[in-house]
Amino acid sequence: MANKAYSNKVAIITGGSSGIGYALAARLASLGAKVVITGRDEGKLQAATATLAAQGAEVLALAGDVSQWQDCERWVGETLQKWGRIDLLFNNAGISMRALFEELDMKVIRQVMDINFYGTVYMTKLALPALIQSQGAIVGVSSIAGYRGLPARTGYSASKFAMQGFLEALRTELMPHRVHVLIACPGFTASNIRNAALAKDGSAQGESPREEATMMSSEAVADYILKALEKKKKTLVLTTQGRLTVWLNKWFSGWMDKIVFNALAKEKDSPLQKYM
């Protein structure tokens, strides 16, 4: 069913073949938008495209690496070539990591920053002229880790803090252009991000350390993001636990250091367990 806020809008969603990105693509398509999904795994992209197309979606799948300027440039160019405009940019592509910083190979920090932060910067820079022309919107899919640093996730937390600072500054810059910027911070969400998280040597973690079934679904997160975007919200912090973490960290940061440490040390195979 078309929605006037999204009908015939052109949306680029990085990391759109699974998780929150795919849920955003499916929801936007159902509301009448044209969607571009990007990702590194061409097989997953094609499978996602087939499913979306079978549901009547107008969808374009573009493979590549968001951490590479040339790929981002190609994605924006092909979108404009096909549909002539960009109304919505969802900077969703991301990767996590879990390891103690003292044991961490520096390539892990670089990879996480390249994807989570520089990928956002590249896509935003390249799409910005079209977004200014359409008076569109930019969404950064961040994390509670962008408000509260998480032990054993130093690189991930740093990338999300950087993303949020960049987008907050940009939001203020873009006020005269009437381009809206939303920073969306889901709590723990059922997705593939923890399975693909990097270990200390850069290899994939392979198995989620958390109970995925108890988390908010990607579909629910996508719905919250789109509703917040319609209402022109500047920030969105999801889940009771997430909002409480942000609030308590602002006023009781010392106490929260202990709470967060103990909570994450209880994860399966947590590197923090050696200190317990």
Cβ pair 200, 155 in contact under 8 A: no
Q: Which of 87, 94, 62 is nearest to 218 (CA)?
A: 94
Q: Is 275 a catalytic residue?
A: no
Beta bridge pairs of residue 88: 11, 137
Structure tokens at 33: 């938008």
Tokens 């078309």 belong to which residue? 2
Pick the catalytic residue: 22, 118, 122, 156? 156
Separation of alpha carbons 234 and 112, rounded Å: 25
Q: Helices 218-230 and 19-30 meet at what angle, rounded to 10?
A: 60
CA–CA distances in Å: residue 207 to residues 65, 98, 136, 210, 212: 23, 12, 38, 9, 11
Active site (catalytic) residues: 156
